[in-house]
Amino acid sequence: MTSETEIPSREELAEMFLAHKDDLGPEAFPALRGISSGFMYQFTPEPESPKPPEYVYVPMNRPETAGRLDLWAAITNWNMAWEAADLRHEIESLEMPPGLEWVDDHYEKNIYLLPLTSRHHYPAYAPLYHLIPRRTLERFGLPLLERGNWPTYSPMGMIDRILPSDFDDRFSRAFASHLWPLLHPGSRLDAFSSEDPIRVLAHNLDYWLPYAYQVVENRLRALGRVPVENDEQARRIREAQSRMPEGVRIARPYYGGYAWMGEDEALEATRQMVEIADGRGRLRAVLDAIRSGHVQEDFSSRWSHARADFERKLNHNRSKTKVVFIEIPDTVPVQGPESEVHESLLWEDFLALLDVKERRIVVLLRNGVTAVGEISRILGYANHSPVSKALARIRQRAVAFLEA
């Protein structure tokens, strides 16, 4: 073991974060374990009809927040109380430290807090990462991390030393490789490979993150609740229930346990996530249209100028390439550096696909109604045109593919 001032060796880091050889078989890897809030709370309020969730990235790399263990602890405690949804503020022990006071200004909103480190999104993306089988992680040069924990419950600083510097980009491509064949039953397992005329230019994992969280929560609910320990605890639950309004239940927390373990369960969890995310079939319909060549443009007039600028710069002194923008509406809002708030709508680029054969680029822009849009301004995420910057990166990648 090392002291707090010593830098762990490569071997020590591997022991801390990488899966052991005995845990790498397809029956055990990948895996994600949910942590019961019963370790922290005797009981929680649970609304019968929770308000729609919103997700907010909390920057952990600023001078006023870097290394703040109290912030990590507060985010952990807040997310542990997921069962309470928009009633988290009813839990007296949930107090916000300096830097998170804005949460108290949004009383009765169902907000999830996502820690955002300076290098990568692993603390937020753990449920997505631990859906991917070993062979896919290895193909994209990603580490075989030990089972994931949800919610993330400790600072993840040291894990930076075993994650590649381009972790988010590699992970995005690995997740696309794992996911997209599920959206096209009967398609090749190597879809979007070098032989496929359709290339993934950009893939925003924040689209899938809320639905992965929902799958985890559904599976933890299926494990049942921690039993009442004694008569005194039962009395306190009855007393708390007597003070609650109609539609709110006071109950013991759900058990912790594996949300999934092994490739088969992880694949089934991925399928469930896709079904939830594509509840009305909108996404599948768009992707089918792209493959059939019958895709029609359908996007908000707000982005007309961005589309025209994208196409003009892409086609400057080059063979013409068709650019199509399509809107994916009513998705779950995720506020962060890559989101853009306009009135009550939060926008993000979701996916960009290049059909090399047809010389066509399809950009999917997603939106979601936000009740806490001002948080983007408080955290400094507003007024910097993140979608336009993302489109510039997509255009650069398209040029590289088309000129190769």
Residue 3 confidence class, pLDDT cut points 50, 70, 90: very low
Is the pLDDT at 52 greater than 90, yes or no? yes
Residue 260 confidence class, pLDDT cut points 50, 70, 90: very high
**Average pLDDT score over residue span 84-112:** 88
The span from the CA of 162 to the CA of 150, in Å, is 20
Q: 149 has which bridge partners?
A: 33
**Average pLDDT score over residue span 241-253:** 94
Is the pLDDT at 64 greater than 70, yes or no? no
Of residues 62 and 19, more confidence is placed in: 19
The DSSP result for 1-37, as a single string, is: ---TTSPPPHHHHHHHHBPPGGG-STTTSSEEEEPPG
Give the model confidence (pLDDT) of 19-30 as tens digits. Answer: 998 999 999 999
Query: What's residue 181's pLDDT?
Result: 80
**Average pLDDT score over residue span 92-113:** 87
Mean residue pLDDT across the chain: 86
Residue 195, burial from CB neighbour count under 10 angstroms (0-12, 13-18, 19+): exposed
The span from the CA of 85 to the CA of 82, in Å, is 5
Between strands 44-47 and 31-34, the pairing is unpaired
Q: Record the tokens describing residue 72, joined without a space.
A: 């990590």
Is the pLDDT at 287 greater than 90, yes or no? no
- What are the residue ranges spanned by the domains of the chain? 30-161+210-276, 279-403
Of residues 215 and 73, more confidence is placed in: 215
Q: Record the tokens describing residue 342, joined without a space.
A: 């306009």
Q: 248 has which bridge partners?
A: 47
Q: Record the tokens describing residue 17, joined without a space.
A: 């974060």
Q: Record the tokens describing residue 134, joined without a space.
A: 């070993």
Query: What's residue 155's pLDDT?
Result: 59
**Average pLDDT score over residue span 397-403:** 83
CA distances from 261 to 120, 205, 302, 366 (A): 25, 22, 44, 31
Of residues 276 and 185, more confidence is placed in: 276
Residue 1 confidence class, pLDDT cut points 50, 70, 90: very low
Residue 9 confidence class, pLDDT cut points 50, 70, 90: confident
Give the model confidence (pLDDT) of 183-211 as tens digits. Answer: 765 554 444 455 567 778 888 899 999 99
The span from the CA of 353 to the CA of 204, in Å, is 12
Of residues 6 and 314, more confidence is placed in: 314
Of residues 327 and 252, more confidence is placed in: 252
Is the pLDDT at 234 greater than 90, yes or no? yes
Residue 248 confidence class, pLDDT cut points 50, 70, 90: very high
Longest Cα–Cα distance of the chain, Å, equals 79
Query: What's residue 101's pLDDT?
Result: 87
Q: Going along 236-321, which residue ranges are E strands?
A: 248-251, 257-261
Give the model confidence (pLDDT) of 104-137 as tens digits. Answer: 889 889 999 999 887 788 989 999 999 999 999 9
Q: Which residue, 28, 260, 266, is CA-closest to 131? A: 266
Residue 156 confidence class, pLDDT cut points 50, 70, 90: low
